Amino acid sequence: MSTANNTAAVEKGFAQTGANLVRDVSLPALVLHREALEHNIRWMQDFVSNSGAELAPHGKTSMTPALFRRQLDAGAWGITLASATQTRAAYAHGVRRVLMANQLVGTPNMALIADLLADPTFDFHCMVDHPDNVADLGAYFASRGVRLNVMIEYGVVGGRCGCRTEDEVIALAKAINAQPALALTGIEGYEGVIHGDHAVTGIRAFAQSLVRLAVQLQDSGAFAIAKPIITASGSAWYDLIAEEFEAQNASGRFLSVLRPGSYVAHDHGIYKEAQCCVLDRRSDLNEGLRPALEVWAHVQSMPEPGFAVIALGKRDVAYDAGLPVPLLRYKAGVLPAKGDDVSACKVTAVMDQHAFMTVAPGVELRVGDIISFGTSHPCLTFDKWRTGCLVDDQMNVIETMETCF
């Protein structure tokens, strides 16, 4: 790419393929490292396949169609999403099998899905957890002449959505089967809201209960398909869900589907800690996921000794589960780029467009230097960006990836 085009890219505030992060890209920028990204996609697909399950990664994490395509090409069964609008965006980019791990509520949202179901190649399943929703869905989709696949969501007391008792699940299955426009295709749960000192025991018990309910529903003839779907798993406890599904022989009677999402980019915070726990529990896994996502930004001001203001704020990076983590310092415009470790520095606060960072003794910074930051909770970093930069080991942009939040 010519210098003129590089300059145009900077002026427009986005990167172009062939640009170099240190020299050509307007910062701050969302950065994805190709090698780590490809490793993570391979690693999770292998883990799930070896567990006798299918993978439907949660697309809400990134809402990045280029990542959806890579996950599907690597063997993912489908993509999990959280809303009708997310489903429409994924469909527009070629996704043809969706688990909507949420309730479909409201006539405009139902209309979005009904329109997509006019395509006979589109395989869609959403969750239900209440008779009112079942009645509304049954009436609306009957009026459209479309049959909707629904799955019962089973939850935990104090958690998010989902029937709270096994009796509620059985009663809801009867309500669904009374609606000709609805087809009961499986059962779903989410274990990520189980916390505390005995979380592992609680999660195992929850998974066992989920399988037990699925068997009971299948034995009673409640499901509309021969091999119903049973699904759970976020990005922290997927190993426990996989083990319990396998131990209960869920894959023999059901299509077992795991739904982690944050693994694709991983992080330097809560999911890094969760992955360490997975590796502690599973001695057969000799390597885990790698952080693939960073946000790069300039040192904007150094108004006091030992204190730097970074051109990075709440508009650019997640801060709900920990502040950004300084990783490496790059000297602006200096190629080939060599990053110097600045992990001893610490971000102490973030404002809308600024981060406050203490500068560790021995670290020499100047205004204009570039810092790469790790993040915690990638979902709430991705959603702040329209475009991310996929880079190689030399920090050259090899692809720009658009999000569709």
Distance CA 360, CA 139 (A): 63
With a cut of 90, say whether residue 12 has pLDDT above it.
Answer: no
Q: What are phi and psi of 20, to 5 degrees?
A: -110, 135
Mean pLDDT across 372-394: 97
With a cut of 70, say whether residue 386 has pLDDT above it.
Answer: yes
Summary mean pLDDT of the chain: 94
What CATH number labels 3-33+289-402? Answer: 2.40.37.20
Query: 99 to each of 78, 123, 165, 278, 365, how far by Cα in Å?
Result: 7, 9, 23, 25, 48
Q: How many CB atoms lie within 10 A of CB 28?
A: 24
DSSP secondary-structure letter at 59?
G
Please report which residue ranges of 248-309 form alpha helices under DSSP H: 250-253, 270-281
Mean pLDDT across 366-389: 97
Burial class of 219 by CB neighbour count within 10 A (0 to 12, 13 to 18, 19+) = exposed
Q: Mind listing the pLDDT tens digit for each residue in 283-325?
A: 999 889 999 999 999 999 999 999 999 999 999 999 999 999 9
14: confidence class by pLDDT, cuts 50, 70, 90: low
With a cut of 60, say whether residue 13 has pLDDT above it.
Answer: no
Contact predicate 391/398, CB 8 Å: yes
Question: What is residue 291's predicted lDDT score, i.e. its pLDDT?
Answer: 98
What superfamily in CATH does domain 34-274 come from? Alanine racemase (3.20.20.10)
As annotated, the residues of the chain forming the CATH 3.20.20.10 domain(s) are 34-274
* Low-confidence winner among 11-15, 60-64, 259-263, 336-340 (lowest mean pLDDT): 11-15
Residue 348 host element (H or E): strand 346-350
Contact predicate 258/58, CB 8 Å: no
As annotated, the residues of the chain forming the CATH 2.40.37.20 domain(s) are 3-33+289-402
Q: Mind listing the pLDDT tens digit for each residue in 158-188?
A: 899 999 999 999 999 999 999 999 999 999 9
Contact predicate 373/325, CB 8 Å: yes
pTM for the whole thing? 0.94
The CB-side HSE value for 313 (13 A sphere, CA atoms) comes to 8
Contact predicate 236/192, CB 8 Å: yes
Contact predicate 241/256, CB 8 Å: no
264: confidence class by pLDDT, cuts 50, 70, 90: very high
Helix (H, G, I), strand (E, B) or coil at 234: coil
